[in-house]
Amino acid sequence: MDVFVPFAAHRPKTRLSGTFTIEERRAFADAMLGDVLTAVQSAGGSPTVLADRPIDLTTRVGAEVATDVAVRVDDRDLSPAVNAVLADAVSNTTDDAVAVVMSDLAIATPDSLRRLFVADGDVVIAPGRGGGTNALVVRDPAFRVDYHGVSLRDHRRIAADVGATVTELDSHRLASDVDERGDLTEVLLHGTGAARRWLVDAGFEPSSAAEARAGVRRRTDD
Amino acid sequence: MDVFVPFAAHRPKTRLSGTFTIEERRAFADAMLGDVLTAVQSAGGSPTVLADRPIDLTTRVGAEVATDVAVRVDDRDLSPAVNAVLADAVSNTTDDAVAVVMSDLAIATPDSLRRLFVADGDVVIAPGRGGGTNALVVRDPAFRVDYHGVSLRDHRRIAADVGATVTELDSHRLASDVDERGDLTEVLLHGTGAARRWLVDAGFEPSSAAEARAGVRRRTDD
C-alpha cells in the first residue's frame, strides 16, 4: 500500500518548545520520522514523505531508512496537501487504497500498522487521543480530509456525506501522537526505536511522583 | 472468565474535583461502573465488583445491570485487595485465569475486552496512558500486582521475576481510563453508554479551540 507520511520540516513540534530547544525538537522529530518510516516498511507499506519544503531525507533519518522512500513536497497546509495526494492516488494505485500516517507516531509498530492496512472499510481511521486522525486508509475516491479541529468527528461526517463506510481502529500505539511533554512518557514506556533512544540519551525518564499517571523528568546531573 | 472490577465507592475521581461537584463525581463514577460491567458481561465475563466499602449496587447501576454481578468488599488499598483476589482465584477458577478491569474504562467495548480475554500469555496487560495497568488477565498463580507508581513497568518486572510471559494489548479503549478533565474528551467522542449520556446531559461537549487536541467545555446557558 502507498503510505504518505506528512512531515513539518521547518518548525516541528512547537508544543514541545518548553521542553526542548529548537535543535532538539528537530532532532527528535527526525528520529520519530525515521521510526515511522521503518515501521511502515516492515508492515509492507511503501512510504512517501509528504514534506512542507524540500528536505534531505538521508541526513534526517540515515541512508538505510531513506532508501526506497520517496519525498513529495507541498508547501500548503496539511489538509490541502493530503487532499492533493488523495486526488492523485486513489484510483491510480494498484490496490485503489492509500494510507496517511502521521510522522509523530513514535510508538507505532509494524503490527499496529498491519492492523490498519488490512482493516475493512472505505475509510479506516486510527483516532488520536483528543479526537485527531493519526492514521487513515482511504479506499473511496470521493473522501477528503479536514484536519482542522476535532478531525475525527469531521472525518466521520465527511465519510457519511459521500456514502463511505468507516472503520475505527482501536490502537493505543496509533492513538499516541507526540505533541506535548506528557506524550513523551508513552515513548519511554513503549518505544523501541530511534525516538526512544534519543530521549534516553537526552536524559529523560518516566517520573511517577505521587500521581497515578507517569510524567517525565530530565536528569540534570550531566 | 471471572472479572474483578475494583471500585472506590466513597471518594471517587478526586482529580475531577475541579470539574465536578462531589455528587456529580459519584454519579459519573457510577455511570462508568455500569458501562464497564455491561461491557464485561457482553464480552462473556462474569463480573464481581471489588468495592472498598459495602455498596448497594442496584442503586448505583440499576437493577438490570446489577443482576448477576457479585460484590466483594475489601477496605484495604487497591494492591493488597487485588492480590487477595489473585491468591483466592487463580487455580480455583475453572479456567485458571482471572481478570482485573478498572471501573473507569468508560469507553471499553465488548470487542476490546474480548481481545483482552483471549490474548495468549501468563499475564496479559492492557496498559493505561501514562504507564498504568488498566486491565489485566492473570494465569500464573505466582504473579502479584503493585499498582503504585508506574505500574506497567513494575508488572513487567514482577512477571519476569516469577517466569511468567507477558503480552501487552494494544487498545486505545482500554488505555483510556478517566481521571482528568482531558480524559472526558475520549468519553464524548468514543463512549456509547451511560457515562457519555451523563456527560452530555450535564452539558459537556468537545471543544476544539485553537489546539490540535480537543478539550471539553461545559455549556453555561442552562
Q: pLDDT tier at A16 (50, 70, 90 boundaries)?
A: very high
Q: pLDDT tier at A198 (50, 70, 90 boundaries)?
A: very high
Average pLDDT, chain A: 93
Percent of chain A with pLDDT over 70: 93
For residue B11, what pLDDT is reported?
84
Q: Identify whether the C-beta of residue B187 lies closer than 8 Å to the C-beta of residue B179.
A: no
For residue B89, what pLDDT is reported?
80
Residues of B in contact with A182 (CB under 8 A): 130
- With 0-12 / 13-18 / 19 or more C-beta atoms within 10 angstroms meaning exposed / middle / buried, residue A19 is middle
A153–B112 CB contact, under 8 Å: no
On the question of pLDDT at B206 being above 90, the answer is no
In Å, how far from its chain's centre is CA B172?
Answer: 13
> For the ranges A12-16, B54-58, B78-82, B100-104, which has the lowest average pLDDT?
A12-16
Tell me the pLDDT tens digit for each residue of B59-70. Answer: 999 999 999 999
Task: Quote the minimal CA–CA distance from B165 to chain A in Å.
Answer: 17
In this complex, the residue of A111, A131, A212 whose CB is nearest that of residue B185 is A131
Q: Identify whether the C-beta of residue A58 lies closer than 8 Å to the C-beta of residue A66.
A: yes
Tell me the pLDDT tens digit for each residue of B188-199. Answer: 999 999 999 999
Q: Output A164 or B213, whichever has higher pLDDT.
A: A164
Average pLDDT on B79-104 reads 86
Interface contacts (A, B; CB < 8 Å)? 93
For residue B104, what pLDDT is reported?
98
**CA-to-CA distance for B140 and A5, rounded, in angstroms?**
42
Q: What is the amino acid identity at position B35?
A: D
Tell me the pLDDT tens digit for each residue of B165-196. Answer: 999 999 999 999 999 999 999 999 999 999 99
For A215, name the nearest residue in chain B, comparing CA atoms only. B130
Average pLDDT, chain B: 93
Q: What ipTM did this prediction achieve?
A: 0.93
For residue A136, what pLDDT is reported?
98
Strands A215-218 and A204-207: antiparallel
**Fold exhibited by the domain A2-179:** Spore Coat Polysaccharide Biosynthesis Protein SpsA; Chain A (3.90.550)
For residue B34, what pLDDT is reported?
98
Task: Quote the minimal CA–CA distance from A220 to chain B in Å.
Answer: 21
For residue A44, what pLDDT is reported?
97
Q: Identify whether the C-beta of residue A178 lies closer than 8 Å to the C-beta of residue A162.
A: no
B149–A190 CB contact, under 8 Å: no
Tell me the pLDDT tens digit for each residue of B94-153. Answer: 557 999 999 999 999 999 999 999 999 999 999 999 999 999 999 999 999 999 989 999
CA angle B99–B101–B107, rounded 5-degree value: 135
For residue B95, what pLDDT is reported?
58
Tell me the pLDDT tens digit for each residue of A29-79. Answer: 999 999 999 999 999 999 999 999 999 999 999 999 999 999 999 999 999
B171–A174 CB contact, under 8 Å: no
In this complex, the residue of B131, B132, B172 whose CB is nearest that of residue A175 is B172
Task: Quote the minimal CA–CA distance from A139 to chain B in Å.
Answer: 23
Average pLDDT on A184-213 reads 88
For residue A221, what pLDDT is reported?
56
Question: Which superfamily does CATH assign the domain made up of B2-177 to?
Answer: Spore Coat Polysaccharide Biosynthesis Protein SpsA; Chain A (3.90.550.10)
